Amino acid sequence: MDDWEGPIDTGSIPEDGSSFDVIVVGGGPSGSAAASYNALNGCKVLLIEKEVWPRDKICGDAVGGKSLSHVKELGVKEMVEKTPHFMVDSIVFGSANGNTVQVMLPQDEFEKKMAGYSLPRMQFDYMMFKRATEIVTEAGGSVIQGFNVKEVLDNEGAIVGVSGSFGKRSSESPTMSFTAPLTIGAGGYRCPVATKLVEGVHSEPMRDDDHYCGGYREYWENVGGFDGSRGPIEIHFIDEVIPGYFWLFPVKEGVVNVGIGMVISEQRKQKGADKSLKKKQRWVIENHPVFRERFKEARIVEGSQKGWQLPFGSPRKSPPSYQPRRSAGAGVMCVGDAASLVDPFSGEGIGNGLVSAKMTSRWYFDKDNHSGGFPEEEAVAYMEDLWGTLGKELTNSHRLQKVVKWKKLMNWFVGKASRKEEMGDMLTGMIADKEAQKALWSPWFLFKTILLP
Ligand SMILES: Cc1cc2nc3c(=O)[nH]c(=O)nc-3n(C[C@H](O)[C@H](O)[C@H](O)COP(=O)(O)OP(=O)(O)OC[C@H]3O[C@@H](n4cnc5c(N)ncnc54)[C@H](O)[C@@H]3O)c2cc1C
């Protein structure tokens, strides 16, 4: 049995009514990292996960460069490298008329193995959670899996803990409660902690269909055009899928993650069967002149056909409070998808999940000063810093997401980029350093790279 296939021993279950410094709800990458960072900071942490490991998470499975410093810092990188994975050295972008441009990731980062991986989340999340279990228990905390948080407890609007039970149905086991001065919401796009904070305590909107994206994923074996365990991942803005995109991300030798993503409000505008991402994907694989050929000899991995949602971090037009939406309050901070931080251009969410996870431990929560409850002022500081750190790149990615809808512009841009080295280099910079995306909006850049022959 491989390192990521067996059960994870999470140790003994804390008694009903136990207190901790920090409770983390959700054991995905953001929750596992938040639990680890807070435990490394000396806190007694309770990490709670609803599922029992190993568990699947629907995703494109790309773990980009931004994630890797955290993955390394937490001691998970070596674990990842010992299991089957794909090393991403470039990204191929394809436009509606069949033009493609291959954007290389910076070679030095690739050599230092900092460019990016892709591997099934079944594996990656398992290793993040397993490592978190070690770190949390060594620091005197507890980890429980198969425990569904159903209620988030508050005292006059300040979050003070959670309650729930083991098993999928309430009748399966008695309700248990746990308390802490800080609860971290890391339960993904339907996180009960985020819902309580945003809708329950502050009566603000939790979801916005212009900023939520539907995603559909399948695993396929033997897809044409991929070879070995190193190379490009591919994103195609093809006619039948725009305003969404079609991706092909190899995850290990011989296996490719194939999927489609589209903003939910755009998906609703599609007609009839076209609303279904699954049906769109089937059409592309069976009928698109390029992909039909590449899937000629391919086989689907049965059971892998699943959909999920991505809460984007794009700025809301008139946010009721903080951008992209409220992510903290008295007694609570949210991280990753629970704080709606997915990149609206690339669909990457793991990196921002890990960045926000670290922020909860390093700057804001002090278990001695905040033992009476994590204060509202610190929550505001966290939200301001979160947007200060990620706001620019999320805003730029949102602009890019809008641009790809213009088919003619994309056809022309990709065609030109494939012929013009300078534009390829600029795209590399943009992928490696989101700040460099700003270049795209500078008049000098537009003049030099697009208008000049
Ligand atoms: C189709 C698709 C493709 C994507 N592709 C990529 C990609 O290639 N690269 C990338 O970086 N990102 C990608 N993303 C986004 C990425 O999957 C998320 O941003 C990422 O999973 C966020 O991690 P998280 O830990 O915040 O939340 P999650 O991974 O959603 O983890 C939340 C955890 O909380 C648990 N939980 C939920 N409710 C409760 C409860 N009540 N009690 C206890 N536990 C609970 C869940 O079981 C889960 O384990 C994609 C998303 C989709 C849908």
Residue among 257, 310, 333, 334 whose CB has most ligand 1 atoms within 8 A, to mutate: 310
Q: Tell me: the pLDDT tens digits for 11-63?
A: 999 999 999 999 999 999 999 999 999 999 999 999 999 999 999 999 999 99
Q: What is the pLDDT averaged over residues 256-267? A: 95
What is the pLDDT at residue 185? Answer: 98
What is the pLDDT at residue 404? Answer: 74
CA of 275 to the centre of ligand 1 (A): 23
**Strand duo 332-334 + 328-329: pairing:** antiparallel
Q: What is the pLDDT averaged over residues 3-7? A: 85
Distance CA 9, CA 218 (A): 30
CB neighbours (10 Å) of residue 172? 11
Mean pLDDT over all residues of the chain?
90
What is the pLDDT at residue 241? Answer: 87
Residue matched to tokens 């006619």: 239
Contact 34, 10 (CB under 8 A): no
Q: Tell me: the pLDDT tens digits for 82-133?
A: 999 999 988 888 888 888 888 887 777 666 666 789 999 999 999 999 999 9
DSSP E strands, 79-155: 86-94, 100-104, 116-118, 142-145, 147-155
C-alpha neighbours within 13 Å on the C-beta side of residue 274: 12
Residue closest to 312 by CA, chosen among 261, 269, 245, 368:
261
Write out the two tokens for 75: 């001691």
To the question of pTM greater than 0.75 for the whole model, the response is yes
| Nearest CA, atom 50, ligand 1 | 59
Contact 217, 59 (CB under 8 A): yes
Q: How confident is the model at residue 424 (pLDDT cuts 50, 70, 90)?
A: low
User: Among 141-150, 172-181, 411-420, whose mean pLDDT is lowest?
Assistant: 411-420
Helix (H, G, I), strand (E, B) or coil at 19: strand
What is the pLDDT at residue 170? Answer: 65
DSSP at 42: T
Residue among 37, 57, 86, 304 whose CB has most ligand 1 atoms within 8 A, to mutate: 57
Query: Could you tell me the domains of the chain?
Result: 22-74+121-208+312-399 (3.50.50.60), 85-115+209-309 (3.30.9.10), 403-451 (no CATH)
Write out the two tokens for 356: 């926000």
What is the pLDDT at residue 443? Answer: 53
Per-residue CA distances from 330 to 45, 181, 351 (Å): 18, 9, 26
What is the pLDDT at residue 448? Answer: 53
DSSP E strands, 26-85: 45-49, 62-64
pLDDT more than 90, % of the chain: 70
CA 160 to chain centre: 27
What is the pLDDT at residue 433? Answer: 57
Q: Tell me: the pLDDT tens digits for 304-338?
A: 999 999 999 999 999 999 999 999 999 999 999 99
pLDDT of 431 higher than 80: no
